[in-house]
């Protein structure tokens, strides 16, 4: 069998901006989902996962839409990708998929996009070689939104597909979705500055299929509608007082200020500034997610505060929120001390000890063998 891989991601800055047509700045992680795939001639898709031993899932290529409801949740991601290729008219035949995911599940590191994108690149190479990356991203997102029922934006799939080692991906979502333009690989070499990026997985699972994420999206749409613009991307701070309700106004304020933070951070990195300079911007992003967007948790706040108290230059929750992970930007020689301090603070606060690990920007989805 041939194999393909796709990575998880952390977003350096730009949370809940993707579905508002805004800006994001992710890196891909060295952690990947591996998809081994082989065509078969029986018209069936069979999926196995090393994380779900003994649970082979089968469905006929022609009955994928109808099969959805009887499938276990995890299998809706790979089969959703197959179903989306079929729905778009690609000639997909029988297929065996063997999955192995190393991105922690529910950690806010996009294990689901790693999964859907690893399957998407495999299907492209096997059945639809003319499909371009942008369409592949759309296929993976549609699989997650429509088949798996997770109402994501396009950040995670774009990061999994487009990121490159040693770089952060600056993505202008509106330009990218409209015209396959508006993205840029910006060098992000923390080691050259004696820095490391520490991920702190709180161990508190984050689930996009829960309602909080969808509710935030609806509030953003309501804010844009109230201001008479297509998306919050089109709003600046001076427009915000025109939003009548305080909650919706605060949600919009997060998006407006977060877009500005992405642009500032991208510009600093582009100019080769010391990444320590982005630390305070990450902290401001966390405060905005906590206070205006209200998607942080006590554990995420504890991770951020403890990391900063132990000398991190910046720290913030990453991903959709309601659990998952935080990142901290630390001097290399302090990484262990920061990780230990966060662990201590967690235990004292009554949380289970978090998992901490250092990440570097890695490559996006690719064929491996």
> What residues make contact with ligand GLA under the rule CB under 6 A?
15-16, 18-19, 152-153, 155-156, 208, 319-320
- Tell me how far, at minimum, the Cβ of 240 lies from ligand GLA, in Å: 20
Give the nearest distance from C-beta 318 to ligand GLA in angstroms.
Answer: 8
Cα dist from 346 to 196, 197, 304, 352, whole Å: 21, 19, 11, 7
Smallest gap from residue 132 Cβ to ligand GLA (A) = 20
Q: Which residue, 152 or 177, is less far from ligand GLA as judged by CB?
A: 152
Angle formed at CA 340 by CA 336 and CA 346, multiple of 5 degrees: 150
| CA 210 – CA 151 distance, rounded (Å) | 10
Does 180 participate in catalysis according to the annotation?
A: no
Burial 164-199 (b: 16+ CB within 10 A, else e): eebbbbbbbbbebbeeeeebeebebebeeeebbbbb
Q: Which is nearer to ligand GLA, 25 or 330 (CB)?
A: 25
Of residues 156, 172, 201, 292, which has the active-site annotation? Answer: 156
N- to C-terminal Cα separation, the chain = 9
Beta bridge partners of 24: 171
**Nearer to ligand GLA among residue 157 and residue 335 (C-beta):** 157
CB 18, min distance to ligand GLA, A: 5
Q: Which is nearer to ligand GLA, 209 or 298 (CB)?
A: 209
Nearer to ligand GLA, 48 or 201 (CB): 201
Residue 98 CB, nearest distance to ligand GLA (Å)? Answer: 25
Distance CA 117, CA 26 (A): 16
Long-range contacts of 250-253 (CB under 8 A, 24+ apart): 250/291, 250/292, 250/293, 250/294, 251/216, 251/219, 251/220, 251/223, 251/292, 251/293, 252/220, 252/223, 252/224, 252/227, 253/288, 253/292
Output 18 or 21, the one with its CB closest to ligand GLA: 18
Q: Residue 156 or 172: which CB sits closer to ligand GLA?
A: 156
Rounded to whole angstroms, how far apart are CA atoms 2 and 47?
15
Q: How far is the CB of 50 from ligand GLA (least distance, A)?
A: 24
Smallest separation (angstroms) from ligand GLA to the CB of 332: 27
Residues with a catalytic annotation lie at: 156
């Amino acid at each position: 069998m041939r194999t393909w891989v796709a990575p998880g991601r952390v977003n350096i800055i730009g949370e809940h901006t993707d579905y508002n047509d805004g800006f994001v700045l992710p890196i891909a992680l060295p952690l990947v989902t591996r998809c081994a795939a082989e065509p078969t001639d029986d018209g069936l898709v069979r999926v196995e996962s090393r994380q779900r031993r003994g649970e082979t899932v089968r469905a006929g290529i022609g009955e994928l839409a109808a099969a959805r409801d009887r499938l276990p949740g995890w299998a809706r991601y790979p089969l959703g990708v197959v179903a989306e290729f079929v729905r778009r008219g690609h000639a997909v035949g029988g297929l065996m998929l063997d999955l192995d995911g190393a991105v922690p599940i529910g950690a806010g590191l996009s294990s689901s996009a790693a999964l859907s994108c690893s399957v998407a690149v495999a299907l492209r190479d096997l059945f639809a070689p003319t499909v371009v990356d942008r369409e592949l991203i759309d296929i993976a997102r549609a699989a997650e939104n429509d088949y798996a029922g997770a109402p994501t934006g396009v950040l995670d799939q774009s990061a999994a597909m487009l990121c490159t080692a040693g770089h952060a991906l600056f993505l202008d979502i509106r330009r990218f979705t409209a015209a396959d333009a508006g993205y840029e690989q910006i060098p992000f070499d923390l080691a050259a500055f004696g820095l490391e990026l520490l991920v702190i997985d709180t161990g508190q699972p984050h689930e996009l299929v829960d309602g909080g994420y969808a509710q935030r999206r609806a509030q953003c749409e309501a804010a844009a509608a109230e201001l008479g613009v297509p998306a919050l991307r089109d709003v600046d701070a001076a427009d915000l007082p025109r939003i009548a309700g305080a909650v919706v106004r605060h949600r919009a304020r997060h998006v407006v200020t977060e877009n500005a933070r992405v642009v500032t951070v991208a510009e600093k990195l582009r100019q080769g500034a010391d990444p320590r300079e982005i630390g305070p911007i990450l902290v401001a992003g966390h405060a905005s997610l906590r206070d205006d967007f209200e998607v942080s948790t006590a554990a995420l706040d504890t991770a951020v505060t403890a990391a900063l108290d132990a000398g991190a230059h910046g720290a913030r929750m990453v991903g959709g929120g309601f659990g998952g992970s935080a990142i901290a930007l630390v001097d290399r020689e302090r990484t262990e001390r920061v990780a230990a301090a966060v662990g201590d603070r967690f235990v004292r606060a009554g949380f289970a000890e978090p998992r901490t690990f250092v990440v570097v920007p890695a490559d996006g989805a690719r064929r491996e063998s």
